[in-house]
């Protein structure tokens, strides 16, 4: 195992200090952000443990996971499907191993395309971890070029403001549907009201959303809702462009951003587009998967 990884997750691999009960926050990168906010609360009932995100867990981590579950009094989990990536780490599977008297609170995988209506995630069963180069997000306009629906030299169709808002409203409706089906707390009702702080990318919410989520989780477990902004952006390492027509469609008085920001470094959209078009030429299955997965949004955006 990489020594840096082992040191970073030392309490997971070696066991948290003491012998008392702990809270285990399970999910993707949003889980660690939630854990940070909860751990900073002086009134939260259990200490939390820094755990690798679900998509990084490997078979060799299962003994450490079992040791953690033996001390877990409170499992806070996003909905993770059974046998995720071939491992028994689905939310229901972990709950079944907790034993009686342990509490489980489910919270949502937050995705919001209102600020980034062309941005998308595409998975293919042949390699569910594969992502395009430069930034790990697809652009539906680039996907349309790769599919032959547009030529690279074509003007991108102008989209009416109500269509741009429709993309955001659809994302909120879908998140609300998933919250009703799979979670105990939700934040879908808050997203549009937070403006540009709602999301840095489609799956990296801003601090306002994360703090609101943490407070709702605290309320759900009977603790004071006292989570506060930590003074740094928890999920701001990658920031998608903020396009002027989108900001105007939502009536947001905020500066646009024509490029991506990755760890503070600007990356022009043309650099991303060229690299991803080349990637699609050797990964055509992802083009077809993207067209199927995002057919409704492609139609809404005139692509």
Residue after which a domain boundary falls, among 56, 83, 106? 106
Last residue of a domain, one of 74, 106, 138: 106
**Ordered alpha helix ranges (H), the chain:** 3-8, 10-14, 29-39, 62-71, 91-96, 140-146, 161-182, 207-220, 244-249, 269-282, 284-293, 295-300
The string of pLDDT tens digits covering residues 122-133 is: 999 988 889 999
Domain membership flag for residue 201: no
Q: Is residue 226 part of a domain?
A: no
Nearest to 121 by CA among 293, 257, 247: 293
pLDDT tens per residue across span 234-286: 999 999 999 999 999 999 999 999 999 999 999 999 999 999 999 999 999 99
169 and 289 belong to one structural domain: yes
In a shared domain, residues 17 and 66? yes
Q: Is residue 58 part of a domain?
A: yes
Residue 161 and residue 24 in one domain? no
Give yes or no: residues 11 and 65 share one domain: yes
Minimal CA–CA distance to 139: which of 153, 123, 122, 154?
122
pLDDT at 95 over 80: yes
Is residue 167 within 8 Å of residue 114, measured between CB atoms?
Answer: yes
Q: Which residues contact 20 (CB under 8 A, 6 or more apart)?
A: 46, 47, 71
Averaged pLDDT, 57-74: 94
- pTM beyond 0.75, yes or no: yes
Q: What is the pLDDT of residue 151?
A: 85
Q: State whether 31 and 165 are in the same domain.
A: no
Tokens read off for 145:
């070029």
Rounded to an integer, the average pLDDT of 220-245 is 97
Alpha helices (H) in 183-294, listed in sequence order = 207-220, 244-249, 269-282, 284-293
Q: What is the pLDDT of residue 243?
A: 96
Q: Are residues 128 and 73 in the same domain?
A: no
Q: What integer pLDDT is reported at residue 133 of this predicted model?
A: 96
pLDDT value of position 156: 81
Q: What is the mean pLDDT of the chain?
A: 94
Query: C-alpha dihedral over 251, 257, 260, 261, to 10 degrees?
Result: -110
Range of the domain at 268: 119-184+234-300
257 in the same domain as 135: yes
Give yes or no for residue 210 having a pLDDT over 90: yes
Q: Are residues 88 and 163 in the same domain?
A: no
Q: With 90 as the cut, is the pLDDT of residue 47 above it? A: yes
Note whether 244 and 213 are within 8 A (CB): no
pLDDT attached to residue 154: 74
Radius of gyration of the chain (CA): 20
Domain annotation covers residue 112: no
* Residue 98 and residue 127 in one domain: no
Write out pLDDT tens, residues 149-188: 988 877 788 899 999 999 999 999 999 999 999 999 999 9
Q: What percent of the chain has pLDDT over 70?
A: 100
Q: Looking at the structure, do residues 265 and 169 belong to the same domain, yes or no?
A: yes
Look at residue 157 in the predicted model and tell me its pLDDT: 80
CA distances to 30, 64, 103, 295 from 49, in Å = 14, 12, 16, 40
For residue 189, is it within any domain?
A: no
Q: Which long-range contacts (CB under 8 A, 24 or more apart) does 89-97 make?
A: 89/26, 89/54, 89/57, 89/65, 91/26, 94/24, 94/26, 94/69, 97/66, 97/69
Q: Closest by alpha carbon to 114, among 235, 238, 243, 254?
A: 243
Domain harbouring 70, CATH code = 3.40.50.12080
Domain membership flag for residue 192: no
Q: Is 58 left (phi over 0), alpha (psi -120 to 50) or beta?
A: beta
> What is the reported pLDDT for 10?
85
| pLDDT band at 94; cut points 50, 70, 90 | very high
Rounded Cα gap, residues 226 and 107, in angstroms = 18
**Boundary-marking domain end, from 106, 141, 169:** 106
- Identify the pLDDT of residue 25: 98
- Residue 244 is assigned to a structural domain of this protein: yes
Domain membership of residue 209 (yes or no) is no
Instruction: Assess whether 162 and 89 both reside in one domain.
Output: no
* Domains held by the chain: number: 2
Same domain flag for 150 and 255: yes
Q: Could you give the CA distance from residue 303 to residue 297 in angstroms, rounded to a whole number? A: 8
């Amino acid at each position: 195992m990489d020594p840096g990884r082992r040191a970073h997750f030392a309490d997971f691999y070696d066991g948290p200090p003491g012998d008392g009960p702990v809270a285990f926050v399970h999910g993707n990168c949003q889980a660690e952000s939630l854990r940070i906010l909860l751990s900073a609360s002086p009134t939260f009932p259990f200490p939390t443990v820094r755990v690798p995100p679900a998509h990084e867990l490997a078979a060799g981590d299962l003994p450490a996971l079992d040791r953690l579950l033996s001390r877990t009094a409170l499992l806070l989990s996003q909905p993770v499907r059974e046998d995720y990536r071939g491992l028994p780490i689905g939310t229901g599977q972990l709950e079944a191993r907790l034993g009686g008297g342990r509490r489980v609170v489910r919270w949502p995988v937050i995705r919001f395309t209102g600020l980034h209506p062309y941005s998308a995630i595409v998975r293919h069963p042949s390699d569910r971890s594969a992502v395009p180069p430069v930034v790990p997000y697809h652009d539906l306009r680039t996907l349309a070029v790769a599919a032959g629906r547009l030529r690279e030299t074509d003007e991108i169709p102008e989209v009416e403001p109500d269509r741009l808002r429709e993309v955001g409203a659809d994302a909120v409706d879908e998140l609300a549907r998933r919250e009703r089906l799979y979670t105990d707390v939700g934040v879908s009702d808050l997203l549009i009201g937070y403006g540009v702080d709602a999301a840095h990318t489609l799956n990296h919410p801003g601090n306002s959303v994360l703090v609101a989520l943490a407070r709702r989780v605290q309320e759900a477990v009977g603790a004071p809702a006292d989570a506060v902004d930590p003074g740094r952006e928890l999920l701001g390492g990658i920031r998608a462009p903020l396009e002027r027509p989108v900001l105007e469609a939502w009536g947001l008085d905020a500066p646009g951003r024509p490029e991506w920001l990755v760890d503070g470094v600007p990356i022009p959209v043309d650099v991303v587009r060229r690299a991803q078009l080349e990637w699609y030429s050797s990964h055509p299955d992802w083009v077809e998967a993207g067209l199927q997965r995002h057919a409704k949004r492609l139609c809404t955006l005139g692509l």
